[in-house]
Amino acid sequence: MSSGTVYKNYINGKWVESKSGKTFENLNPADKTDLIGVFQKSNAEDVKAAIDAAAEAYKKWRLVPAPKRGEILYRVAARLTANKEQYARDMTREMGKILIETRGDVQEAIDMTYYMAGEGRRLFGMTTPSELPNKFNMTIRQPVGVCAFITPWNFPMAIPSWKMMPALICGNTIVIKPATDTPMSVVNLMQACDAEGVPPGVVNMVTGSGGALGDALIGDDRVKIVSFTGSTEIGRKVSEACAPKFKHVCLEMGGKNVQIVMDDANLDLAVEGALWGAFGTTGQRCTATSRLIIHKDVAQKMTAMLVDRAKALKVGNGLDESVNMGPCVNESQMNTVLGYMEIGKKDGAKLLCGGGRLTGGNYDKGYFLQPTIFGEVTTKMRIWKEEIFGPVLSIGTFSSFDEAIAMANDTAYGLSASLYTRDVNKAYAAMRDVYTGIFYVNAPTIGAETHLPFGGTKETGNGHREAATAALDVFSEWKSIYVDFSGTIQRAQIDNAD
Ligand code: UN1
């Protein structure tokens, strides 16, 4: 995409300017002089127009046979595949993560789109016997209506696809507000839908920032489902705003994910896992490893191995294939993370590497931080408890397996956790006892696949899951149907009693 290009909102199958007449610039966090494009600064009127379109389109889309909806999604998936490299490059430029990761992000959207396209020929309900004679019972999924999506910048195409594709296959229509930092990736997704014949009004996008747009989306009675990924703080507000009208709301929020390393673990593997889990996506994943707890007998050895590797990570512009870690997404995020580095130092954690900003040369053009590791972190410290969303890893130690499980669960969040051990009994006990939505054995806390449910317990979520068939439960409502072909009145619980 050429610099300075103006990108419009996508409403009712058309690319339109915001009624506000205002725009904003999207800059590369690795190089502030690199302009990705100019995007619409939308207002509540634009949101209303998008909901108008989605509400109108819903009348027809819900009646399109699901396998036909699936055929359109197959074509969208093929287009995403054909454009994968371009989309990945656009994404690296707009939010900074390195190319292998942005290719993975686009691939996750491709996988989700194919998966949900296939659901067009399943969307299984069940048939089950009636307790009464000459009566037939079954369940079907019904679509709900217009869905509103508020999506984050860390997985700019994958997470929108997690919400869009299951919603669409179930027969809903959608309005999406991408994160302010990553509108380009959702423009790319909209272009793919547009080119492959998703009917006008079925998918709509309004770009712009924060609160006012969210309020307009959530406040409109025609929006029946709100799906949000972001901080627990904003998620709570979304949930409260949805409560008076009992709007369905699906929330994916914070994490404080732990990697546990037992004394019998393969330490080389555990080091690789911690490095990838903590510093992949510059630590800006909900699933990022932000706590590492190591058995005291191997803690010193593993810590030294890990710190050596972290110091050797090459930080820079993600378009350079030799770089291991990109910048923070924007200045304010960088400052938040720098703030946590200071809190860690002040609270008495031992700084083992990093601890500040990278400056000089090309680093001055962007928001680059050093991969940072703190040792001797205790469970009372803020860096142990709070989500940082940056390249900061806190290390603690334990003496027994039971203590490790207790430390793992000692958090307000419950997204992902992992255990490194060669002891199968401990592995199974941990699978059972660590209270998270996702658990890994001998693998890092990141790396969820699209055909398994994604989400977390406690303050990470509100009981829903994205991805897999679990997502269908968010975007459809069950209807139980009873067909009585006896020709008589048959009263359940009464006429079948002895
Ligand atoms: C997120 O962290 O916000 O499991 C999503 C993973 C990715 C998705 C992460 N597949 O790390």
What are the tens digits of pLDDT across the range 428-451? 999 999 999 999 999 999 999 999
Q: If you average pLDDT over residues 261-286, what whole number do you get?
A: 98
Q: Report the percentage of the chain scoring pLDDT > 90.
A: 98
Distance between Cα 64 and ligand 1 center (Å): 32
What does the block give as tokens for 369?
């931080």
Separation of first and last alpha carbons in the chain: 74
Q: What ligand 1 atom has the least distance to the C-alpha of 104?
A: 10
Q: Report the percentage of the chain scoring pLDDT > 70.
A: 99
Residue 85: active-site member? no
Asked if pLDDT for residue 496 goes beyond 50, the answer is: yes
* Widest Cα–Cα separation across the chain: 86
Confidence of residue 210 (pLDDT cuts 50, 70, 90): confident
Asked if pLDDT for residue 2 goes beyond 60, the answer is: no
Handedness of CA 103, 105, 106, 107 (dihedral sign): positive
Asked if pLDDT for residue 289 goes beyond 80, the answer is: yes
Distance between Cα 106 and ligand 1 center (Å): 12
Cβ of 155 closer than 6 Å to ligand 1, yes or no, is yes
Which of 100, 112, 285, 452 for mutating ligand 1's site (highest number of atoms within 8 Å of CB)?
Answer: 285
Asked if pLDDT for residue 498 goes beyond 80, the answer is: no
Q: If you average pLDDT over residues 449-463, what whole number do you get?
A: 98
Do 161 and 77 touch, CB atoms closer than 8 A? no
What CATH class is the domain 257-441? alpha beta
d(CA 392, CA 374): 8
Residues present in the chain in total: 498
Handedness of CA 263, 266, 270, 273 (dihedral sign): negative
Q: If you average pLDDT over residues 150-176, what whole number do you get?
A: 98
What are the tens digits of pLDDT across the range 237-272? 999 999 999 999 999 999 999 999 999 999 999 999
What are the tens digits of pLDDT across the range 110-144? 999 999 999 999 999 999 999 999 999 999 999 99
Domain boundaries, the chain: 6-253+461-480, 257-441
Do 388 and 337 touch, CB atoms closer than 8 A? yes
pLDDT at 292: 98
Q: If you average pLDDT over residues 94-119, what whole number do you get?
A: 98
Angle between helices 183-195 and 158-170 (to 10 degrees): 40
Asked if pLDDT for residue 51 goes beyond 50, the answer is: yes
Confidence of residue 1 (pLDDT cuts 50, 70, 90): very low
Asked if pLDDT for residue 356 goes beyond 50, the answer is: yes
Look up the pTM and report it: 0.97
CA atoms within 13 A on the CB side of 344: 31
Q: What ligand 1 atom has the least distance to the C-alpha of 415?
A: 2
CA atoms within 13 A on the CB side of 93: 19
What are the tens digits of pLDDT across the range 292-341? 999 999 999 999 999 999 999 999 999 999 999 999 999 999 999 999 99
Q: What would the CATH number be for the domain defined by 6-253+461-480?
A: 3.40.605.10
Q: If you average pLDDT over residues 450-479, what whole number do you get?
A: 98
Confidence of residue 497 (pLDDT cuts 50, 70, 90): confident
Distance between Cα 429 and ligand 1 center (Å): 25
What are the tens digits of pLDDT across the range 366-403? 999 999 999 999 999 999 999 999 999 999 999 999 99
Q: Which residue among 252, 387, 459, 466 is the active-site one?
A: 252
Mean pLDDT over the full length of the chain: 97
Helix, strand, coil percent values for the chain (each to nearest 5): 40, 25, 35
Distance between Cα 124 and ligand 1 center (Å): 27
Confidence of residue 211 (pLDDT cuts 50, 70, 90): confident
